[in-house]
């Protein structure tokens, strides 16, 4: 007889706690092999295919495409040791009515095959017994566990005579400052994203447990939320004033969840502005000679050299002279950590949002090697094929916002780095050259730096050296 094993969303590393289902690679009834990719998910770092450690027949999938799941939540179940699909909740290919609570009813077992990150190798765990809901409104197929710390219920005085005629007691809303009876992190996140206070929601599960259907019902009828949240039993101590509901006008606008890449960008930029006392300085530079040098290099044959690669070479040499900017701040130890190698990140705009791939060991690469690596990482970014290694470990960032047709910017530092160089568009402008007015190719350069690692003199020296190299590329010959 086939044994049904549950495969959960594994720990994908880098401190990631959730992932969004982008595309299912298998359907219910499909036969899968050990370590076969079964689903494509998007994390805050990259798009990855998740392999299943079991071999057998897929009996259920949990979560539709576009659903965000926390690490440890069920992805699918597989019947191992048989050839026919085994009936399971949601075996029609859709999640069970309360699939978010299934994360607390794990079924694990020993298996053969490669051990993947976060899958674990522990022996079989005891099967948790499903608890039948006391409330008939809850489907019997829901896997619900009694919350660890249910909200304390105040002693009830005598009920009004009218309450005796009520056919059945209604679940009460949470009052006061006690814990909210909700297990699923998906339910908490849904309420948080929609600005809904869970203390105003009636829980239809056992002992007032709040389920997804309760939150969706409250969101569907915001005008009735306050009335629905009124407790069925009058307590001796009056409850504190409820948090005001979100105005209807605010709910009418389009809501875009801050998750995936957009959520990761928002979190990192907010952390940067919160923790880093940044400052920005900028300068205009005559890039005519640099453009001419690039033209001459590409005319000599061999691999073409990109303009971004030349700016990367300039940054590497400037960081060798001003190592304070190739550092990070250890806030716990109250120390500045100067990093020995330059791993150069560069901002890349993709259909999924802004990402910052990292060119490893940029200080030891030639212009040709930098050009090739920039091209590889840019292509991978556009194809959503960047790995976690491609997106981590940067020590300094180069931001070429000139591709958007703008001249200047005050970029936000890519936390936990200490600086970022911005490059605007290169355009013909009037310029005094050798004492005469001429039309030259001018670029604006901006440097945003962490004022904790250095003062303005160091930052200005770095930026001035970069501008000198742009105006006179021969300056680089002194570093060879």
Range of the structural domain that residue 323 is part of: 261-479
Q: What is the CATH number of the domain that holds 196?
A: 4.10.320.10
**Other CB atoms closer than 10 Å to residue 369's CB: what's the count?**
15
Q: pLDDT (tens digit, 9 = 90+) per residue, 301-341? A: 888 999 999 999 999 999 999 999 999 999 999 999 999 99
Q: pLDDT (tens digit, 9 = 90+) per residue, 413-447? A: 999 999 999 999 999 999 999 999 999 999 999 99
**Other CB atoms closer than 10 Å to residue 474's CB: what's the count?**
9
The catalytic residues are 451
pLDDT confidence tier of residue 243, bands split at 50, 70 and 90 = low
Residue 354: what pLDDT?
80
pTM, full prediction: 0.55
Helix (H, G, I), strand (E, B) or coil at 77: strand
Q: pLDDT (tens digit, 9 = 90+) per residue, 265-280? A: 788 889 899 999 999 9
Which residues in 18-147 belong to E strands, given as ranges? Answer: 18-24, 31-32, 36-42, 47-52, 56-61, 68-70, 74-80
Helix (H, G, I), strand (E, B) or coil at 4: strand
Residue at 363 is within a domain: yes
C-alpha span between 306 and 52 (Å, rounded): 41
What DSSP character marks residue 357?
Answer: -
Residue 301: what pLDDT?
82
The answer to whether 441 and 291 are in contact (CB under 8 A) is: yes
C-alpha span between 330 and 308 (Å, rounded): 30
Structure token pair of residue 421: 């160089």
C-alpha span between 378 and 355 (Å, rounded): 10
Residue 476: what pLDDT?
80
Total of domains in the chain? 3
Residue at 416 is within a domain: yes
Q: What is the CATH number of the domain that holds 30?
A: 2.40.50.100
Q: What is the CATH number of the domain that holds 468?
A: 3.30.559.10
Q: pLDDT (tens digit, 9 = 90+) per residue, 192-213? A: 778 888 878 878 776 677 877 7
C-alpha span between 95 and 421 (Å, rounded): 47
C-alpha span between 424 and 282 (Å, rounded): 11
Helix (H, G, I), strand (E, B) or coil at 146: coil
* Selected residue with higher pLDDT from 54 and 175: 54
C-alpha span between 439 and 134 (Å, rounded): 82
If asked whether residues 355 and 287 sit together in one domain, one would say yes
Residue at 181 is within a domain: yes
Residue at 346 is within a domain: yes
Residue 60: what pLDDT?
92
The answer to whether 446 and 421 are in contact (CB under 8 A) is: yes
If asked whether residues 229 and 302 sit together in one domain, one would say no
């Amino acid at each position: 007889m086939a044994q049904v094993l549950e495969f959960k969303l594994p720990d994908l590393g880098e401190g990631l706690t959730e992932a969004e289902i982008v595309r299912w690679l298998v359907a219910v009834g499909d036969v899968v092999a050990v370590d076969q990719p079964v689903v494509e998910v998007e994390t805050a770092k990259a798009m990855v295919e998740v392999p299943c450690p079991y071999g057998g027949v897929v009996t259920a999938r949990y979560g539709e495409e576009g659903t965000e799941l926390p690490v440890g939540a069920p992805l699918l179940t597989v019947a191992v040791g048989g050839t026919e699909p085994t009936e399971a909740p949601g075996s029609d290919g859709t999640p069970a009515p309360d699939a978010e609570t299934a994360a607390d009813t794990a079924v694990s077992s020993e298996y053969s095959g490669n051990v993947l990150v976060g899958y674990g190798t522990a022996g079989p765990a005891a099967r948790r017994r499903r608890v039948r809901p006391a409330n008939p409104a809850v489907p019997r197929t829901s896997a619900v566990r009694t919350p660890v710390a249910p909200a304390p219920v105040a002693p009830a005085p005598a009920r009004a005579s009218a309450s005796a005629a009520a056919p059945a007691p209604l679940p009460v809303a949470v009052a006061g400052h006690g814990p909210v009876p909700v297990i699923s992190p998906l339910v908490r996140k849904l309420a948080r994203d929609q600005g809904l206070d869970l203390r105003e929601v009636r829980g239809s599960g056992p002992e007032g447990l709040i389920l997804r259907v309760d939150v969706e019902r409250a969101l569907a009828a915001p005008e009735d939320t306050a009335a629905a949240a009124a407790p069925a039993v009058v307590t001796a101590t009056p409850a504190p004033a409820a948090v005001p509901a979100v105005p209807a006008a605010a709910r009418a606008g389009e809501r875009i969840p801050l998750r995936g890449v957009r959520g990761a960008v928002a979190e990192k930029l907010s952390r940067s502005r919160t923790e880093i006392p940044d400052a920005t300085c900028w300068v205009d530079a005559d890039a005519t000679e640099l453009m001419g040098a690039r033209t001459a290099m590409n005319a000599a044959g061999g691999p073409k050299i990109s303009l971004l690669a030349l700016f990367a070479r300039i940054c590497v040499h400037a960081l060798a002279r001003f190592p304070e900017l190739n550092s990070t701040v250890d806030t716990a130890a109250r120390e500045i950590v100067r990093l020995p190698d330059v791993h150069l990140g560069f901002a890349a705009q993709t259909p999924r949002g802004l990402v910052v791939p990292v060119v490893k060991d940029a200080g030891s690469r030639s212009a040709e090697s930098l050009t090739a690596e920039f091209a590889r990482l840019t292509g991978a970014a556009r194809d959503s094929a960047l790995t976690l290694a491609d997106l981590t470990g940067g020590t300094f960032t180069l931001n070429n916002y000139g591709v958007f047709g703008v001249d200047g910017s005050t970029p936000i530092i890519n936390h936990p780095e200490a600086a970022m160089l911005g490059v605007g568009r290169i355009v013909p402008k009037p310029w005094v050259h050798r004492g005469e007015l001429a039309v030259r190719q001018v670029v604006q350069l901006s440097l945003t730096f962490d004022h904790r690692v250095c003062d303005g003199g160091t930052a200005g020296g770095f930026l001035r050296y970069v501008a000198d190299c742009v105006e006179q590329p021969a300056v680089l010959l002194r570093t060879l």
